[in-house]
Amino acid sequence: MALNNRFLKYILVKSSLVFFFLSITSVFAQEETAHKPSLTLGFTTLKFTGDVGKQTDVSPLRDARFGYYFAIEQRFGKVLGISLGGMMGKMAGNDNSESSKRNFESKVLQGELLLTANFDKVFKEEPNVSPFLNAGIGFMTFDPYGDLKNGSNPYYYWKDGSIRDKPELPIYKYNSKLIKRDYTYESQLKDSTISYARNTLVLPFGAGLNFHFGERWVASIGANYVMCLSDYVDNYKNGGNDSYFQANVGLQFEFKKKTKSKSEEVNFDQIDHEDSDKDGVEDGKDMCMDTPKGVKIDENGCPIDTDKDGVADYLDKELNSKPDAIVDVNGVTIKEGTWITNRVGDSVQVKKVKTVIVESSGSTNELAKVNTSSPIKSTNVTAFFSNTNNSSKTSSSTLPIQFKGADYNNNGVISADEITRTIDEFFDGKNDFTAEKINQLVDYFFEQ
């Protein structure tokens, strides 16, 4: 039996070492991420599951003992990590049956190295709760003590279930005293035949849940099953190694920089002095924020317009236009005697300057130069054209076929009202007229 136990211990130790070596290799094989070490502090509850404590008629949880633990973990990649931890606590066992009154309590110190698997990074979004697994190897020291007497009086367990200060012999039947256990484990327990080592290797396996709150804090609950490679933790050898269960509650802190909020990441000082078009005038003061590179500007960041005709010098093909001259989009003076129209919102601006209608980009400066009279609402264009005394003209020639769509009353004559309606429908997209065709229609109106 002893040979078998030694062989089993050898197999377990070798298997654990091989498993741990392979685990570490797989950890370093993963792609490294920006994880920082974390520290966990917590409370633990230990329930011994060896030989002593099995024979009882009371709740087995009465033998549970408390302790403290810590762990320092370094994660590698999304899942795996290595944890170095320690635990200090107590384990106990109490038999309460006719065949056994054994009891013990032992202080334990344990250090362990674990491979951990965390599953909080495998989801698309950071979960509030995530599972974890761990397994590894550790080293534990123990020193079992027994509650064998009350003060100076040894316990004698009689068959009637009582505890007395004298052994169960006929001469003490009437002069022995009843006593009670004080549960003070005052006597160090030893094996009468062998001096065993009061330490052992342990193989812990566990699982649990992490509760994430904040950026760097995690609360955890978990449970471990720990196999001891010794049968003397309870000072009683009965053919199999001892073990215990461990329940943990802890709080973890990760030593990483706090992620800045989006507002904290913005450099407002830099934004205040930003110059998008690189013209030397900050955006906050720049009245023309899309000035081309290399163009001369004024104090407001706008391109220089020497002749004040509304066309910047770098676009102006006539740099010395006369004051109040009407110019086109190239800054060139428009000759008298022709018509030009512009559309601003719901208004139609009309000026007889040129024989064609010129479509404008609609910039404020250009419209100010092109239109020398107040904007005319589309509903008032009729009144404007009526002033030309052409609204009642009769056709002296056949109406050109391209203007048939503007002859709404089919009388062969284009009136001011019909021009107004044609222009309105042009801007509303209700007819197939173009700017050029409207230009020709206006010319035809004055010529008919």
pLDDT, tens digit, for every residue of 40-54? 999 999 999 999 998
Per-residue pLDDT tens digits for 279-290: 778 877 878 877
Give buried/exposed letters for 277-296 (b at 16+ CB in 10 A, else e): bebebeeeebebeebeeebe
Average pLDDT for the chain: 79
Instruction: Indicate the range of 17-31, 258-272, 405-419 predicted with least confidence.
Output: 17-31
- Stated as kind and residue range, the H or E segment containing 419 is helix 416-428
Considering the domain architecture, whether residues 69 and 172 belong to the same structural domain is answered as: no
Give the pLDDT of residue 205: 96
Among the three residues 239, 254, 269, which one is the final residue of a domain in this structure?
254
pLDDT of residue 265: 55
Instruction: Specify which residues 131 forms β-bridges with.
Output: 209
Least reliable range by pLDDT among 17-31, 54-68, 189-203, 204-218: 17-31
The answer as to whether 361 is a domain residue is no
pTM of the full structure: 0.54
The more confident residue out of 325 and 160 is: 160
The band of 316, judged by pLDDT with boundaries at 50, 70 and 90, is: confident
179 vs 299: which has the higher pLDDT: 179
Share of the chain above pLDDT 90, in %: 40
Q: Are the C-beta atoms of 334 and 317 separated by less than 8 Å?
A: no
Residue 212 pLDDT more than 50? Answer: yes
**Two tokens, residue 152:** 């100076």
Q: For residues 155 and 231, state if they share a domain.
A: no
pLDDT interval class at 258 (50, 70, 90): low
More confident site: 11 or 72: 72
Q: Are 419 and 442 contacting, i.e. CB atoms less than 8 angstroms apart?
A: yes
DSSP state letters, 38-90: EEEEEEEEEEE-SSTTSS-SS-GGGG-EEEEEEEEEEE-SSSEEEEEEEEEEE
Name the band, by pLDDT with cuts 50, 70 and 90, for residue 383. Answer: very low
Do 6 and 27 lie in a common domain? yes
Q: Is residue 153 a part of any domain in this protein?
A: yes
Distance CA 178, CA 167 (A): 11
User: What residues have CB less than 8 Å from 306, skipping those under 6 apart?
Assistant: 313, 316, 319, 320
C-beta of residue 333 within 8 angstroms of C-beta of residue 318: yes
Residues 6+ apart with CB under 8 A from 430: none
Whole-angstrom distance, CA of residue 276 vs CA of residue 122: 41
Dihedral over Cα of 16, 21, 26, 31: its sign: positive
Same domain, 57 and 197: yes
pLDDT mean over 313-325: 83
d(CA 340, CA 243): 100
Q: What percentage of residues in the chain have a pLDDT greater than 70?
A: 75
For residue 27, being part of any structural domain is answered with: yes
Do 162 and 211 sit in the same domain of this protein? no
Instruction: Indicate if 136 and 53 belong to the same structural domain.
Output: yes
- Residue 39 in this model has a pLDDT that exceeds 70: yes
Domain closes at, from 238, 254, 270? 254
Is residue 403 assigned to a domain? no
Residue 331: Cβ within 10 Å count: 23
Which residue range forms the structural domain that includes residue 165? 148-182
What pLDDT score does 338 carry? 52
Shared domain check, 90 and 43 = yes
Least confident of 82-91, 156-165, 298-307: 298-307
Number of domains in the chain: 2
pLDDT of residue 113: 97
| 227 & 140 share domain | yes
pLDDT band at 69 (very low <50, low <70, confident <90, very high): very high
**Same-domain pairing of 98 and 236:** yes
Are residues 63 and 174 located together in one domain of the fold?
no
Q: What is the pLDDT of residue 366?
A: 38
CATH number of the domain at 246, please: 2.40.160.20
Q: Is residue 442 part of a domain?
A: no
Please write the tens of the pLDDT for every residue from 106-126: 999 999 999 999 998 888 788
Q: Is 342 among the domain residues?
A: no
Which band of pLDDT confidence, cut at 50, 70 and 90, is reported for residue 187? very high
For residue 306, what pLDDT band results from cuts at 50, 70 and 90?
A: confident
Please report which residue ranges of 232-293 form alpha helices under DSSP H: 262-265, 268-272
- pLDDT(134) > 70: yes
Check residues 390 and 295 and name the one with the higher pLDDT: 295
What backbone phi and psi angles, to 5 degrees, belong to 446? -80, -20
Same domain, 32 and 84: yes
101 lies in the same domain as 212 = yes
Report the candidate in 209, 231, 229 with the shortest Cα–Cα distance to residue 219.
Answer: 209
Beta-carbon count within 10 A of 166 CB: 16
| Residues in contact with 442: Cβ distance below 8 Å, sequence separation at least 6, in sequence order | 339, 341, 357, 419
Judge whether 358 lies within some domain: no
Last residue of a domain, one of 254, 275, 299: 254
| pLDDT at residue 360, as a whole number | 38
Has residue 54 been placed in a domain?
Answer: yes
Contact status, residue 148 vs residue 185, Cβ threshold 8 Å: no
The per-residue pLDDT for 313 is 82
Tokens, residue 240: 């199999």
Mean pLDDT confidence for 206-232: 94
pLDDT over 80 at 251, yes or no: yes
| Whether residue 7 has pLDDT greater than 60 | no
